[in-house]
Structure formats: structure tokens, C-alpha cells
Amino acid sequence: MLLLALSTGHKLGLGLAGAAFAGFALVVSMLIPRRWPQFPGRGLPLFLAVTVVFFFGMLAAVEIFGKSSEGEAAAEGQKVSVGEVEYKIELPKTTFAPGTYTFEVENKGQIPHNLTIKGPGGTEATQDISAGGGGSISVKLERGSYDFYCSIPGHKQQGMDQKVTVS
């Protein structure tokens, strides 16, 4: 159980639950019988109840702490639709959780655009996308501030610039 507990990202909660379960097992199998040779004797029902509580407590800890958070789960491989029109970038939100995203870009405008993402991990960009066309870019976003913009000369200065926060 302890190895199962420590195999997930929530090591502290699972580790404490596993350590408590293992500690209980060691105490009742090695220490208590030395002092009270007749253990558990008449206390068998209480001993069984405590054992069952520890067992189900460990199962509950694995269920609760063993899951990744919604933000982590959503951030892995999530697709985000991005619209571009003349001098505006349309994003569904401007705050993201860290993780890998595929930005699917649709040029809804009348002239070519692209999507350039500049941040702590470097700069990535799509090819120029002709009017009515589409493209995509996969980026691993780390915590920090990002600049999403069109790098075609003059477009960023005319408003195709969106600040994004990853936290």
C-alpha cells in the first residue's frame, strides 16, 4: 500500500496515510505482543474495528490524494481554438494552467496572419495562414507571462497582441 501511495503526485498525504497504516501493523504485530502475550484476547472486536478503519482510511486516501487536480488533467494535451481577424486575436481565456496545449488557429480575416507565442520557454510560431485558412501550434506552457501576437510586420502594433498568464 505504501508503494502505491507514493507512486502519485500527492506524496505527502498518501505517504502519511501509508506510514500510519504500516506503523499500526508493525506496532500490533511486534510491540504489543511482547508486553501483552495474550493480545488481542478479549479486545479482538476492537482490534478488528481499528484494523478495518485503517484499511478503509488508506483506500480513501488513495482515492482522494491519488487523483490529479482538474487543472493538471485539463492542461495535458488540451486543444484551444484561436480566431484571428484583422488586428485582433480571439482567445477563449487569457489565464491557463501549466501544461501542453495545441492552439488551433483559424484566420477569419481577409489578409494573412500567424500566431506567435513568446514566453519563458522561448518563442514558437505558426506558418503564415492565408485568409479563411487554419493552422496549429503545440506549446508547453510554463508558469509566467506570455505574449500571443501576429508577427507579420505591423500587425502587432495595430492590436494583434494578447497577454496571457500561466499560473
All cell numbers assigned to 167: 499560473
Q: How far apart are CA 166 and CA 148, in angstroms?
A: 12
The number of distinct structural domains making up the chain is 2
67 contact partners, CB below 8 Å, separation of at least 6: none
Domain end point (choices 31, 51, 67):
67
Predicted confidence band of residue 162 (pLDDT cuts 50, 70, 90): very high
Pair 148, 166: CB distance under 8 Å: no
Which of 26-40, 66-80, 152-166 is the most confident on average? 152-166
Please say whether the dihedral angle defined by the alpha carbons of residues 63, 96, 84 and 118, taken in this order, is positive or negative: negative
Indicate if 98 and 49 belong to the same structural domain: no
Q: Of 162, 160, 80, nearest to 114 (Cα)? A: 160
* pLDDT tens profile 148-160: 999 999 999 999 9
The parent domain of residue 31 ranges over: 2-67
Indicate if 108 and 161 belong to the same structural domain: yes
Q: Specify the amino acid at residue 54.
A: F
pTM recorded for the entire structure: 0.57
Q: 3-state DSSP call for residue 134?
A: strand
Domain end point (choices 13, 33, 67):
67
Domain end point (choices 21, 50, 67):
67
What's the whole-number mean pLDDT along residues 37-63? 87
